[in-house]
Structure 1
Amino acid sequence: MGNDGGSIPKRIELVKEKKKAAVQNPDIERRAVWFFCALSKNPLTAPIAACRLGKLYNQDSILEYLLDKTAYGDGDKICAHVTSMKDITKLNLAENPSFDESRDSNERSTVGSLEQEATSRYICPVSMKEMNGKHRFVYLETCGCVFSEQALKEVPGSECLTCGTAYTAENVITINPTDKKEIEAMKLAMEEKKAQAKAERKAKKAEKKANGVENGSTKRKVKDNTVELPPAKKINLAPSSATAAVVNKVKEELEARNKLQKSSAIQSIYRKKGEEKKQTYLSTGTFNRY
């Protein structure tokens, strides 16, 4: 039946159904986590680092985040577990010989570049597989070397295949895991390791305190072990008796020499105090009215 004399509405126009959740392209998500920094969203460039949850970062972005937590808006949600540079590991990545940087930059500049398949800059040094998210990759926390998971399983051992650094199963960290159970297990392992490191720091601090490092006893021990030097002798600046005798003798010689140098005529000019003036034949017997 019609509503306005001719139009017959359909059910879809009258009944509203719940919208379906938008399905994201898995290839775009894969490229976003393997080719771009999880924090700054910029392309990954050396030096590249990873946390214990397997996320990839530009190391410079982590430094900026640690200096200013507001540098990136969602930094607290992405890497709140990163509180210092000790919480990340610098990766040692093998360059891909078939990677063309000029071609890759042109592809990224075009619209919808995330939907296009790009060549990875890095590969596994053993299996030569590209590090693009199509294969599972892991890194060793002890040295930072990166391998495909399959290559590490095919060549079992307790030493790194590249640098020979020893490692255990706990040091093998999966890069960009997708399984939720695996992610939860990695979070628990990270929290346990942080708690263990905190307990070790407290134990070391208590040991130092017991040994007297913090209460100053070490300083007292160092002071007691130092050799005390005898006090320096004071220098007497007063002249000695021998020096005084020499000075007096020289003084007397100079005075005697000065007396000899004066002639009798010059000495007659000067009169000692109290000495009477001698009369000459011109003034003898005369009266001085003054």
Structure 2
Amino acid sequence: MGNDGGSIPKRRELVKNAARTPTVSELKAIILESLGHAWSHCALSDAPLDMETAVSDASGRLYNYESVLKHLTATDESTDAAPTLTMIRSLRDIVRLKVTHRGEKYICPVSLKQLGPGTRSVYLVPCGHAFAEVVVTEIKEDLCPECSEPFERENVITILPTTEKDIEHLVQRMEDLKSRGLCHSLKKDRSEKMKKKRKGGDISQDDRDKRDPDSITPGNKKVKKDDARISGINNPLAASLTARVLAEQDEKIKQRHLAETGLARH
């Protein structure tokens, strides 16, 4: 009548085992499992991550570009609005990752190591190229090994950081950028500028969007067919995804309006 060999564990033994501190190897296994999920799923929607269109924010988390657009264009009434636990307020708060793939695997173009939970990986801002961390650490010149664009060491972003040192570095970086009026992508933070302008006079959301194609923010309910935000996106794939997401939001708002109108009549 026992669990194994006729022995019956006592309650205090079960409680003691359940409350024990995990070993180092167990903690590593837990972290590796968590990283595996984060490398393969969007941090916003939890949908499978498409590395071809993946983007990252200042914390090093990974997102599907389409999920970010839905988050930024979600209305207050939307039932599928994205979680608020994100640093993304506009497209200026993300950088599109540029990854090298070999077959179904994504690799560092220099070391050829597979990018994922088993390799400490980083990407550079502003270009977005991703590498194994060791490659960027060892290069002497502060030039991207892929595109030769200059970068500063503070703008080397650890992908999905797990150590306190890496996390503190990213937090400090964002504080420094904010003090300089910059976003994660190193573009100017328009939100602060718009706040100052609003103090002097009212500015409509439409006027804001026409001037700034990267300023898509949550709660924007008006989407036009010839939206300047779409025409201002140079990447064809990004523009296509943006147009599709905005069209979906348009349709949802239209259907909701029709439903509310119908209920009001009855």
Secondary structure of the 1:197 match is coil
Task: Tell me, yes or no, if structure 1 residue 170 matches structure 2 residue 154.
Answer: yes
TM-score by length of 2: 0.57
Q: 2-side partners of 1:155 and 1:51: how far apart? A: 24
Change in CA separation of 1:203 and 1:76 when aligned onto 2, cut-off 3 Å = closer
Q: Residues 39 and 72 of structure 1 are in contact (CA less than 8 Å); yes or no, is this contact kept in structure 2?
A: no
Q: 2-side partners of 1:55 and 1:28: how far apart? A: 16
Q: Deviations over 1:107-163 (max 9, x none)?
A: xxxxxxxxxxxxxx3100001000122111111111111111111223321211111
Structure 1 position 194, deviation (Å) = 2.0
Task: Tell me, yes or no, if structure 1 residue 48 matches structure 2 residue 46.
Answer: no
Instruction: Tell me which structure has the larger Cα radius of gyration.
Output: 1
Task: Tell me, yes or no, if structure 1 residue 12 matches structure 2 residue 21.
Answer: no
Secondary structure of the 1:139 match is strand
Structure 1 position 29, deviation (Å) = 1.0
Change in CA separation of 1:200 and 1:183 when aligned onto 2, cut-off 3 Å = closer
**Structure 2 matches for 1:73-92, cutoff 5 A?**
75-77=83-85, 79=86, 81-92=87-98
**Structure 2 matches for 1:105-124, cutoff 5 A?**
121-124=105-108
Q: Provide structure 2 residue ranges, at least 5 long, that are not aligned to the other structure.
A: 1-7, 183-187, 202-266
Structure 1 position 169, deviation (Å) = 0.8
**Structure 2 matches for 1:120-159, cutoff 5 A?**
121-159=105-143
Q: Provide structure 1 residue ranges, at least 5 long, that are not aligned to the other structure.
A: 1-9, 100-120, 209-213, 215-290
Q: Deviations over 1:90-113 (max 9, x none)?
A: 11110123x2xxxxxxxxxxxxxx
Change in CA separation of 1:86 and 1:20 when aligned onto 2, cut-off 3 Å = same
Q: 2-side partners of 1:160 and 1:94: how far apart? A: 14
Q: Residues 91 and 144 of structure 1 are in contact (CA less than 8 Å); yes or no, is this contact kept in structure 2?
A: yes
Report what 2:43 is aligned to: 38
Q: 1-side partners of 2:9 and 2:193: how far apart? A: 74
Task: Tell me, yes or no, if structure 1 residue 28 matches structure 2 residue 12.
Answer: no
Q: Residues 64 and 71 of structure 1 are in contact (CA less than 8 Å); yes or no, is this contact kept in structure 2?
A: no
Task: Tell me, yes or no, if structure 1 residue 182 matches structure 2 residue 180.
Answer: no
Secondary structure of the 1:25 match is helix
Structure 1 position 175, deviation (Å) = 0.7
Q: 2-side partners of 1:167 and 1:154: how far apart? A: 14
One-letter code aligned to 1:184: E
> Highest relative contact order (Cα 8 Å, sep 6+), 1 or 2?
2
Report what 1:96 is aligned to: 102
Q: Residues 108 and 132 of structure 2 are in contact (CA less than 8 Å); yes or no, is this contact kept in structure 1?
A: yes
Q: 2-side partners of 1:202 and 1:137: how far apart? A: 31
Q: Deviations over 1:226-264 (max 9, x none)?
A: xxxxxxxxxxxxxxxxxxxxxxxxxxxxxxxxxxxxxxx
Change in CA separation of 1:148 and 1:12 when aligned onto 2, cut-off 3 Å = same
